[in-house]
Structure 1
Amino acid sequence: MKNILVFGASGQLGQCLKKVASLKGITSIFFPPESEANILDPDLLAKVFEQYKPAYAINCAAYTAVDKAEDDIELARKINKTGAANLAVQCKAYGAALVQISTDFVFAGNNPNPLSEDDIAEPISVYGLTKLEGEQDVAAILPQHFIIRTSWLYSEFANNFVKTMLKLGAERDELKIIADQVGTPTYAIDLAGAILDIITSGSENYGIYHYSNEGVTSWYDFAKGIFDVSGTKVNVFPIRTSEYPTKATRPAYSVMDKARIRNTFGLQIPYWRDSLIVCINALQSAQ
């Protein structure tokens, strides 16, 4: 197996890749720390590419603080756009393919139909805009790219909606959760598995792909699912987005069509609630 380099290794998806690679017996995958592989430092990147000479790079590094990005445009753009471009340059120099992780937030989310890769990207937040700019730079620099847009990531690792809900559900009697933003949760372990399956297939079907778990839900119903599966007793009430204003505007509907990635690579994509059960079981068994 040719070498795989993971950037943003300490984040949620990076940690999931480490776990899944171990389960799959993939040993030629490397997770250098940010001190050795900062995507904003071209000199460091050149050294790490020279050391490992990867055939694939996976970019899990991102600025993901959606509301904070509205006031922190420069840093968000550096990480999400310039950092991705820096990786594409190194990949081109070493003949490597790049897996660039992107987001459903590249869409406006004002059309109640599942989003295909060919739909027009019209981001309505700084986060979404800078991630789209990163996609565009990667595509312009490096033909050998897999851009994978995902949504609502959660897992046993790092901070995410599932872990936040479990914490709040244990502390409070009632919660109010937004019910008019609709999308699909993605278990980051499933996404990691899909990425590694694509790489190990040796496919050269480069381009943009959508990946989330199957199904459709709102944040409110997602929260209800979390509490049902975990056995957490808490009263949950639906509210509108207008009742919980945030700095950044979020897509109202960002369900993604997965037909392209499923058909191209023969992937089996789990239903969101089935994966939620797996995650919560893992969290509870670790306690």
Structure 2
Amino acid sequence: MKILILGTPGQLGHELMTASWPAGTELAGEAYPDFDMGRAGDVEAAVERHAPDLVVNATAYTAVDKAESERAAAWAVNAVGVGRLAAACAGRGIPLIHVSTDYVFDGGKDGAYTEDDPVGPVSVYGASKAAGEIAVCAGCAQHVILRTSWVYASHGANFVKTMLRFGAERDEMRVVADQHGAPTAASDLAAAILAIVARIRENPATVPWGIYHCTGAGVTTWHGFAERIFQRLDQKTGRRPRLTAITTADYPTPAARPANSRLDNSRLQAAFGIALPPWEESLDRVLDTLLA
């Protein structure tokens, strides 16, 4: 089985390219700047060139705040480019696994969002990702969309590495404590994708195609996330900056963030038997690598 992974330098793309795939799996990757999801012709050319049996789209325009002033760029990658990818896959009968985000919701729900809840993005980034979901659903029948949240890894730019850097430089940190969600290790998300690919490989006719939520188990806030990071930093190095809880209003950003990013993962477990570990366990594993 030949699998084309788009966005190989990113956190998820890296984990997918270095994962332990079953024997007989051939991986091909595309990365910016040679490949640009938003550039006309690149998507079709990549699918034609590699002729894969399955595509995993792990690339996206993810600069949430920058997207507010670069709407066209975000839309070109997350919506238009994804639509081209869906059409290219459908035209060749290729299944598509596409990664989306909690930011498609407005954050106003009291409780965890299910896949059946209506989307209502409050940012350009979220709107472009929601449009990408619509394009995949309309353009490629054999699709699995995985909505995830707060992704981090031992490589790439992410909240965990930023907190460790600031923690080494500063004596006090102020972190938002009124946005709720689930940190998700890119390695756990990659493992879920491998399990879904195995199901597709076994018998595509039995795959329950559609949208699923896939996040680390449990819920925290950005403040709680940082607190866990600094606890481990203290254990490893003896350094622990003071952590002050602030509100979203205390830390204004160009793009609005959903106050509630909790996603219900029960449909994924029922359909594929996949349940990600508690976010604390996965974070500790990544921190062990970063702090070694």
Which TM class, normalised by the smaller chain length?
Answer: over 0.9
Counterpart contact for 2:44–2:85, Cα < 8 Å: no
State yes or no: 1:240 paired with 2:240.
Answer: no
How do residues 20-59 of structure 1 correspond to structure 2 at under 5 angstroms?
20-21=19-20, 27-59=25-57
How do residues 65-214 of structure 1 correspond to structure 2 at under 5 angstroms?
65-202=63-200, 203=204, 204-214=207-217
For normalisation by structure 1, the TM-score amounts to 0.94
Q: Distance in 1 between matches of 2:70 and 2:35?
A: 23
Equivalence for 1:228: 231
Q: Deviations over 1:2-51 (max 9, x none)?
A: 111011111111111112246x6674121133355432345333333233
Counterpart contact for 1:154–1:185, Cα < 8 Å: yes
Equivalence for 2:5: 6
Counterpart contact for 2:74–2:128, Cα < 8 Å: yes
What is the Cα deviation at residue 61 of structure 1? 1.3
Unpaired segments of 5 or more residues in structure 1? none
Q: Deviations over 1:126-167 (max 9, x none)?
A: 000000000001111111111110000000111000000000
Q: Mark the CA change 1:116 to 1:42 in structure 2 (over 3 Å): closer, same or farther.
A: same
Counterpart contact for 1:54–1:94, Cα < 8 Å: no
Q: Counterpart amino acid of 2:211?
A: I
Equivalence for 1:18: 17
Q: Deviations over 1:172-211 (max 9, x none)?
A: 0000000000111000100011011101112521100001
Q: Distance in 1 between matches of 2:68 and 2:45?
A: 33
> What is the root-mean-square deviation of aligned Cα atoms in Å?
1.5
Q: Counterpart amino acid of 2:47?
A: F
For normalisation by structure 2, the TM-score amounts to 0.93
Counterpart contact for 1:21–1:29, Cα < 8 Å: no
Q: Mark the CA change 1:55 to 1:114 in structure 2 (over 3 Å): closer, same or farther.
A: same
Q: Distance in 2 between matches of 1:25 and 1:235?
A: 49
Off by >6 Å, runs of 4+ in structure 1: none
How many corresponding residue pairs? 283
**1:62 match: secondary structure:** coil
Q: Distance in 1 between matches of 2:71 and 2:275?
A: 37
Q: Distance in 2 between matches of 1:248 and 1:42?
A: 27
Q: Distance in 2 between matches of 1:241 and 1:40?
A: 32
What is the Cα deviation at residue 63 of structure 1? 0.8
Q: Counterpart amino acid of 2:231?
A: D
**2:97 match: secondary structure:** strand
Q: Mark the CA change 1:5 to 1:21 in structure 2 (over 3 Å): closer, same or farther.
A: farther
Q: Distance in 2 between matches of 1:109 and 1:32?
A: 33
Q: Counterpart amino acid of 1:278?
A: R
Unpaired segments of 5 or more residues in structure 2? none
Q: Deviations over 1:36-71 (max 9, x none)?
A: 543234533333323322121111111111111111
**2:146 match: secondary structure:** strand
Counterpart contact for 1:21–1:27, Cα < 8 Å: no
